Amino acid sequence: MTAAFQQCIHPDCGARFDTSQILTSCPACGSLLDVCYNWDQVPVPRSLREFEKRWLSRLNPVDFSGVWRFRELLPFATDKQIVTIGEGQTILQKNDLLAGRCGMRPGTLFLQYEGQNPSGSFKDNGMTAASTHAHQVGARMTACASTGNTSASLAIYAGVTGLFRCVVFVGSGRIAYGKLSQALDYGARTIQIRGDFDDALARVRQICSKHPIYLCNSVNPFRLEGQKTIMYRVLEGLGWQVPDWIVVPGGNLGNSSAFGKAFLELKQLGLIDRIPRLAIINARGACTLDRLVNEGGLKWNQGRPSSEQIGQFYTQMDRDQNKASTLASAIEINRPVNLEKALRAIDVCDGIVRSVSDQEIIDARAMIASCGFGCEPASGATIAGVQLLRKQGLIAASDRVVCILTGHQLKDPDLTVAYHSNDSALREKKLGPSGVRETIWSNAPVVVDNDEAAILRAIGIN
Ligand code: F0G
């Protein structure tokens, strides 16, 4: 495979590296890397419709995968090298009930439900690509730091394929039990360090740079190649029409970055004629991107965002001991590692960034669930974001909007049960100030004696 190479995203550097090298930043200047392709050496379809034929040959695992059936758009591996466990069987779903509740017209609001992946989150789209590259370069051990989902995904790929031993680093206390239990069940060596996600990521990066361990966080450019396919499936679900908006939660900003790259490439290849707008939604308690972009005016600036401004922001953050804190534990991140790439995505997609409160996130999560889609709190940020953008007049009632539901409901059942409980002490303990009030979505279990009359009264039959 010579069509693919790695390239530093900084325009003043632009150093290129072979795909056989294991890199998570540019050895020359330290910037992030992209996987790039000499498209003229790759058989790119003339129309996206050509990918539909893969549905007919889906007994072939590489065609069955919702990631690799688009392999001409991430051509860094041969079919034989691909490591797949059947990820990406996720389909865009229209939801008119939810549209109505967000003040949108019927037929306008779509959910891309990534909770249907084997490990229950969108991470599998990226992990199949990172695992493929790890396999290509002969890695024997993989690692990541995680708020939970990356570790579940890494662990399932190592466990199911038997190709790698794996080690996951998680912060202490903040990981939802659904996710922690997956890493344990799938057999990952699980290191709970004293510290938060940012500490865990810094540590695992240091250890992987010194030892033969392959890092699978989203600083790995191959991982993001897999996450591009979420957008291909969205387009497929719309009959290859481009929506008006993509709404995605922002944590480490891997998805946002991958989506921007996907659309940029599709436009350059002449496979789409316009690019949707991207709305990245932060939790207010972890809103580095929102603050840098909206308060600080930080921009991609043709590949030269002000590193001084970013550095000062982090110095101030450390000085104020301002640590990320949100009930959406998946996106409780201080220093998003893909910040620069996300700025590029905002530039490419005429994007915007907003923050929503924990209360808005958990209410939106419950509202989505009441419309038939169980998702975890971080995914609730999307609909909370849509509600905000409707109020701000940025999203029109007739706009076509796609929300990415990133993780499954059962990832964080403790939060759901506390949310619905009528025990205000439990609510407050688990949910903090956001748990103080009951909402229209609250649906507490009713405790009754095992007595027919009492039960009928509780059901409302007299
Ligand atoms: N939603 C869910 C459910 C997540 O698990 C994450 C990230 C995000 C959104 C944010 O995505 O980083 O691409 O902006 N979880 C990571 C983890 C950090 O370790 O599982 P992003």
Question: For the chain, what is the largest distance between any 2 Cα atoms, rounded to a whole number of angstroms?
Answer: 77
Structure tokens at 414: 């403790």
Mean pLDDT, residues 265-278 taken together: 98
Residue 221 pLDDT exceeds 70: yes
CB 236 near ligand 1, within 6 Å:
no
pLDDT 10s digits, 383-436: 999 999 999 999 999 999 999 999 999 999 999 999 999 999 999 999 999 888
Ligand 1 atom closest to Cα of residue 153: 20
Ligand 1 atom closest to Cα of residue 179: 20
Residue 71 pLDDT exceeds 90: yes
Q: 331 C-alpha vs ligand 1 centroid, how far in Å?
A: 6
Distance from first CA to last CA of the chain, Å, rounded? 73
Distance CA 73, CA 263 (A): 11
Distance CA 78, CA 164 (A): 19
Mean pLDDT, residues 312-319 taken together: 97
Name the residue of 147, 191, 215 whose CB sits within 8 Å of the most ligand 1 atoms, as the mutation to test its pocket. Answer: 147
Sign of CA dihedral 36, 42, 43, 46: positive
Q: What is the pLDDT of residue 173?
A: 78
Distance CA 457, CA 462 (A): 6
Sign of CA dihedral 409, 412, 416, 419: negative
Ligand 1 atom closest to Cα of residue 375: 3
**Could you tell me which of 260, 258, 323, 237 has the C-alpha nearest to residue 287?**
323
Distance CA 443, CA 449 (A): 19
Q: What is the pLDDT of residue 462?
A: 78
Helix (H, G, I), strand (E, B) or coil at 91: coil
Q: What is the pLDDT of residue 311?
A: 98
pLDDT 10s digits, 115-159: 999 999 999 999 999 999 999 999 999 999 999 999 999 999 999
**Nearest protein Cα to ligand 1, atom 3:** 407
Structure tokens at 247: 């709404």
Question: Cα torsion at 65, 228, 179, 435 (round to 10°)?
Answer: -130
Distance CA 161, CA 172 (A): 28
Distance CA 326, CA 142 (A): 28
Round the average pLDDT of the chain to a whole number and report it: 96
Instruction: Note whether 406 and 121 are within 8 A (CB).
Output: yes
Q: In 222-374, at which residue ranges do the beta strands (DSSP E only) sit?
A: 245-249, 277-283, 352-356
**Could you tell me which of 294, 271, 273 has the C-alpha nearest to residue 282?**
294
Q: 378 C-alpha vs ligand 1 centroid, how far in Å?
A: 8
Share of the chain above pLDDT 70, in %: 100
CB 150 near ligand 1, within 6 Å:
yes
pLDDT 10s digits, 108-117: 999 999 999 9
What's the pLDDT band for 85 if we cut at 50, 70, 90? very high
**Nearest protein Cα to ligand 1, atom 12:** 252
Residue 1 pLDDT exceeds 60: no
Q: 154 C-alpha vs ligand 1 centroid, how far in Å?
A: 13
pLDDT 10s digits, 442-454: 999 999 999 999 9
**Nearest protein Cα to ligand 1, atom 10:** 251
pTM across the whole model: 0.97
CB 407 near ligand 1, within 6 Å:
yes
Instruction: Note whether 355 and 290 are within 8 A (CB).
Output: yes
CB 217 near ligand 1, within 6 Å:
no
Name the residue of 146, 252, 341 whose CB sits within 8 Å of the most ligand 1 atoms, as the mutation to test its pocket. Answer: 252
CB 288 near ligand 1, within 6 Å:
no
Q: 179 C-alpha vs ligand 1 centroid, how far in Å?
A: 12
Name the residue of 149, 220, 288, 337 whose CB sits within 8 Å of the most ligand 1 atoms, as the mutation to test its pocket. Answer: 149
Q: 380 C-alpha vs ligand 1 centroid, how far in Å?
A: 13
**Nearest protein Cα to ligand 1, atom 19:** 146
Ligand 1 atom closest to Cα of residue 378: 1
Mean pLDDT, residues 285-292 taken together: 98
